Amino acid sequence: MGYQKYQRRDDLKRPKSQIEEIQYRGIFDLQFLPRPWILRGIIPSSALVLDEVDTVLAKDTLAPPHGLDVLLTPPPAPAMPTLPSWTQAPVFSLDETEALGRVRERIRREYEEISKDASLQKEVDNLRTKIAAKSEAIDQKMRQDQARGAELATGCRNRDLAAIRLLMLTCLARHPLPEPLVLNADFVLDNLSRVALCTIQVPDLSTMPIVKKSATKRWQPVSEAQRKRCSERILHALCIRAAYLIAMSDPGSFFDTVAVNAHQKWFDPATGSPREGIVASLQGAKSELCQLQPGHLDPKACFRHLGGISTANILNAAPVRPIFVMDRNDDRIVANKDVASQIEEQTNLAAMPWEDFEHLVSQLFEWMFTNDGVEIKVTRASRDRGVDAIMFDPDPIRGGKYVLQAKRYTRTVDVAAVRDLYGTVVNEGANRGILVTTASYGPVLMNLLRTNRFR
């Protein structure tokens, strides 16, 4: 009987360890892909396994829930460990044969002897209590998450920007990634331009360990050439993943375009100084992004198809100009004014107040491009920044941020004006600059336009 007692103690070790390891990640918690080799201590948790790269855009990891279902559907509760059968007293029916009755009596006596072992019985009772407490805690968390999710879903339906932002960030968190690739993200929705901008943080891929199994089944670092290809694949895949999940989770047709900027921090190899910036950017129509088929995408080909741009070498990163940016703290923006309706046919535009001319130019661009989702914002009447209006174009090919300058001149536009515009474009982080004037361009300036990047 002593041997059986110790054997039964061993039977309790597994459920004991299982109940301690159970962690429930609810609606608003980060989800991670299982990494059994990490749990066994085979490789460090900071290392990325080569096979994990393809999980970023895998069908299973990007599967529903999307949209408001993210807030209303909690992840399933984990299975509780099962106690050994001998911890329950056997129950027998009354019509058993005499032969089974003998076996029944022997098992019953054995159970009675086990029950007399107070320490073993106490372990069983404690384990049952822990399992019940863990189940109750998980049930309570699920109820709390569902209540909070329902409240946020109501906010999303009412166009509450804070609730929509939390929905999008929750959607990104709910769809699992390998732990080394999980970093923060942010989301901004511009109601006027109907553009959703997601900024994701990506790890420094030049320092992240990437390993694979060799022919001898041992873990080893990938080659430098493979590291470069793999890092580029990761960067493109993370951008596509964010764009797809945001597009699929629009709770009420609130935007038409999704833009993603990938932000990274790294150390300059030449000076050792910390640096950071946007290393990849893409923009696409929501309708096109929703048609993507996870599990069948090549990250590089898809990234190019969406018109994305990225740093030339992710292992020696350099910032790129994002396709779309939103400065929500720009205090220069003022309300647009209807000037066109007040202009008579014989009005001399060169003689009208310069503030009215700026609003007129903005209004004309709005008429021409508003059907394409373009947004025009006039800046405050100030000459210090050289920006008269800002235009946001969601088109993935020609789009981005435009700087508009309105020159109400009676003289010829000189070279300095165009050079100033170019400097303003660079300073604003814009994609293009447009100069509109009531005058004409001189021959010196036209020659400059032909021999430089100006148009």
Query: Over 50: is that where the pLDDT of 9 sits?
Result: yes
Coil/strand/helix, residue 283? strand
For the ranges 36-50, 140-154, 305-319, the lowest mean pLDDT is seen at 36-50
CATH of 333-451, one of 3.30.470.20, 3.90.850.10, 3.40.1350.10, 3.90.420.10: 3.40.1350.10
366 pLDDT higher than 70: yes
Q: What is the pLDDT of residue 180?
A: 92
Nearest 10 degrees: Cα torsion 412, 415, 417, 421: 140
Which pLDDT belongs to residue 270?
82
- The rounded distance, in Å, linking the Cα atoms of 314 and 220 is 22
Question: What pLDDT is stored for residue 455 in this prediction?
Answer: 56
386, 421 Cβ separation under 8 angstroms:
yes
Cis peptide leading into 353, omega within 30 of 0?
no
Say which residue, 12 or 208, is predicted with more confidence: 208
- HSE-up (13 A, CA, CB side) for residue 278: 19
- Reference 303, options 237, 205, 398, 204; nearest CA is 237
Mean pLDDT of 78-102: 63
- Decide: 213 and 219 in contact? Cβ < 8 Å: yes
Query: How much of the chain exceeds pLDDT 90, in percent?
Result: 35
Q: Is the pLDDT of residue 28 over 80?
A: yes
User: For position 103, what pLDDT does the model report?
Assistant: 65
Which of 90-104, 235-249, 437-451 shows the lowest mean pLDDT across its residues? 90-104
**Sequence-separated (6 or more) residues with CB below 8 Å from residue 149:** 27, 70, 71, 72, 74
Structure confidence at residue 136 (pLDDT): 92
Per the model's pLDDT, the better-predicted residue between 215 and 229 turns out to be 229
Q: How confident is the model at residue 385 (pLDDT cuts 50, 70, 90)?
A: very low
Average pLDDT over residues 329-356: 68
For the ranges 29-38, 225-234, 383-392, which has the lowest average pLDDT? 383-392
Does pLDDT of 451 surpass 80? no
pLDDT score of 239 more than 90: yes
Percent above pLDDT 70 for the chain: 78
The rounded distance, in Å, linking the Cα atoms of 160 and 99 is 72
pLDDT of residue 125: 80
* pLDDT confidence of residue 3: 41
Domains of the chain, by residue range, sit at 32-67+158-316, 333-451
Q: Is the pLDDT of residue 348 over 80?
A: no
Task: Name the amino acid, one letter, at 337.
Answer: K
Give the model's confidence band at 92: pLDDT under 50 very low, under 70 low, under 90 confident, else very high: very low
So what's the pLDDT on residue 94?
A: 47
The arithmetic mean of pLDDT across residues 329-358, rounded, is: 69
Q: Which residues contact 378 (CB under 8 A, 6 or more apart)?
A: 333, 334, 335, 336, 337, 358, 359, 362, 388, 389
In this prediction, residue 183 carries a pLDDT of 87
What are 53-73's pLDDT values in tens digits? 999 999 999 999 999 999 999
- Mean pLDDT is lowest, of 72-86, 210-224, 366-380, 422-436, for 366-380
CB neighbour class for 322 (10 Å; exposed up to 12, middle 13-18, buried from 19): buried
At 383 the pLDDT is 46
> Beta strand pairing status for 195-202 and 257-267?
parallel
* 3-state SS class at 42: coil
Mean pLDDT of 142-169: 93
Structure tokens at 398: 């020609």
Looking at residue 382, its pLDDT comes to 53
171-181, pLDDT tens digit by residue?
Answer: 999 999 999 99
Cα–Cα dist 274/277, whole Å: 11
Task: Give yes or no for residue 152 having a pLDDT over 90.
Answer: yes
How far is it between the farthest Cα atoms of the chain?
A: 117
Contact assessment for residue 135 and residue 82, using Cβ atoms and an 8 Å cutoff: no
Most confident of 42-46, 92-96, 394-398: 42-46
Provide the pLDDT for residue 262: 95
pLDDT at 297: 95
pLDDT in tens, 191-227: 767 889 999 999 999 999 999 887 777 888 999 999 9
Mean pLDDT of 243-264: 94
SS3 282: strand
- How much is the pLDDT for 288? 94
* pLDDT tops 80 at residue 452: no
- Residue 370 pLDDT level (bands cut at 50, 70, 90): low
Q: What is the pLDDT of residue 441?
A: 80
